[in-house]
Amino acid sequence: MTAVAPEPSLVVEHPLQRPRLPKLAPLIAAVIAAAAAVLLGLSLGWGVAPIVVTGGLIYLVGLSTWSRLVENARAATDRLVTSLVWTALVIALIPLISLLYTVISKGSSSINAKFLTWSMRNVLDGPGGIYHAIMGTLIITLGAAIISVPIGLLAAVYLVEYGQHSRLASWIRFLVDVMTGIPSIVAGLFAYALFSIIVGPGTQMGFGGSVALSILMIPIVVRSSEEMLKLVPTDLREASYALGVPKWKTILKVVIPTAMAGIITGVTLAIARVIGETAPLLIICGATDSVNLNPFSGQMASLPVFIYSSYQSPGANPEVLRQMAWGAALVLIIIVMALNILARVLGKVLSPKTGH
């Protein structure tokens, strides 16, 4: 018998992995795009902005085309979308970094012990301090938080735990949405009219500023707290009810502590939203050069109003007051950053501990 040769296999083996671009491909494409854009811009006499835009377009087209030739269409689309996301992030960070750089470069030279501990009372020549404005801002904002947080949190508890789909809950959500879009000056005019009726015409005080800011804070607190309470698992509520715990105690001991981290974050966002408001405080709080720690009597200074008045009415020393305005702006940014850091710390401390 003669041996029969085996027939060749008809199965075609396909590689499980297609060729991939090197890890440094985005960097290589960015360098080539930057060099091409610079050469093209210098030859045509372009400015910085056209060169940057051209370089970005060359990078997007070049990297996606390179990926399509070496990898496949799906990988090319993925790299294109990823590049667009990073481009959007860079575009969003440019004004933020520019703002921080401008404020720090122009305001850091003004900050010293005198600047933070003195007021502008009886200051004729030379720079004074912003102590009166710092204390006014902290007192007014604290008063607004004391008013807004209980009201906003209780409203959110009603919307999630009691009202839910009721007609009253729908109206509350609608009114909260309307209040979210109220201009800040309208809140200031409302507070001014309210205290003019209650106390007397022309009344200006720090507590009025707290009321005006609370009108702007309450919608943010309600919405953020409502979303955080919705994220609490229903199983936790049902387990508490199964143990015979009443509903109010379940909300107080289970639901709110579970959502505390998110609630604190929402409150911090609300404070950061209103701490820089100028129009309502200018109307209801007025402006003063002296330290006033009593929110129920007399005009009270604040950092936003001090910054505005220093540029609007610099007086005999415009350069000095405008330099102080930049310093006050930097202090205001530092206060907002400190509040955000404090909120993160409190959120981690007060959030429920999970065991394994």
Residue 78 lies in a domain: yes
Within 10 A of 321 (CB to CB), how many other CB atoms are there? Answer: 22
pLDDT at 269: 85
Q: State whether the Cα torsion 58-61-65-66 is positive or negative.
A: positive
Identity (one letter) of the amino acid at 283? Answer: I
For residue 184, what are the contacts with CB-CB under 8 A and spacing of at least 6? Answer: 212, 216, 274, 277, 278, 279, 280
- The model's pLDDT over 125-179, given as tens digits with 9 standing for 90+, comes to 567 889 999 999 999 999 999 999 999 999 999 999 898 888 898 999 999 988 8
Residue 18 lies in a domain: no
135 is in which domain, residue-wise? 117-350
Domain count, the chain: 2
- The model's pLDDT over 50-75, given as tens digits with 9 standing for 90+, comes to 898 899 899 989 988 988 888 888 88
Region of residue 62 (left: phi > 0; alpha: psi -120 to 50; beta: else): alpha
Residue 5 lies in a domain: no
Identify whether residues 163 and 129 lie together within a single domain: yes
Q: How many helices (H) and strands (E) does the chain have?
A: 15, 0
Residue 202 lies in a domain: yes
CATH code at position 170:
1.10.3720.10
Among 51, 76, 109, the domain boundary falls at 109
Identify whether residues 76 and 186 lie together within a single domain: no
Structure token pair of residue 346: 């409190």
Identify whether residues 309 and 245 lie together within a single domain: yes
Structure token pair of residue 273: 């939203």
Identify whether residues 40 and 174 lie together within a single domain: no
pLDDT at 356: 45
Cα dist. 192→41, 197, 258, 306 in Å? Answer: 56, 9, 39, 19
pLDDT at 25: 87
Buried b (16+ CB within 10 A) or exposed e, 149-185: beebbebbbbbbbebeeeeebeebbeebeebeeeebe
Within 10 A of 87 (CB to CB), how many other CB atoms are there? Answer: 13
Identify whether residues 130 and 103 lie together within a single domain: no
Among 53, 76, 109, the domain boundary falls at 109
Identify whether residues 133 and 86 lie together within a single domain: no
Identify whether residues 121 and 99 lie together within a single domain: no
Phi, psi at 73, each rounded to 5°: -65, -35
Residue 94 lies in a domain: yes
Residue 11 lies in a domain: no
Among 109, 129, 146, the domain boundary falls at 109
Identify whether residues 143 and 104 lie together within a single domain: no
Identify whether residues 202 and 261 lie together within a single domain: yes
For the entire predicted model, the pTM comes to 0.80
For residue 26, what are the contacts with CB-CB under 8 A and spacing of at least 6? Answer: 63, 79, 83
Residue 8 lies in a domain: no
pLDDT at 14: 53
Structure token pair of residue 124: 């004729």
Identify whether residues 94 and 39 lie together within a single domain: yes
d(CA 202, CA 184): 19
Identify whether residues 341 and 246 lie together within a single domain: yes
Q: pLDDT averaged over consecutive 10-residue blocks of the chain (356 residues)?
A: 54 61 88 91 88 90 89 88 90 90 90 87 75 92 94 93 87 90 90 90 90 93 92 89 90 89 87 88 88 89 90 77 89 89 80 58
Can you give the C-alpha Rg of the chain in angstroms?
30
Residue in this structure with the two tokens 């530092």, named with its chain if needed: 334
Residue 319 lies in a domain: yes
Q: State whether the Cα torsion 320-325-328-329 is positive or negative.
A: negative
CB distance 196 to 202 below 8 Å: yes
Identify whether residues 179 and 241 lie together within a single domain: yes
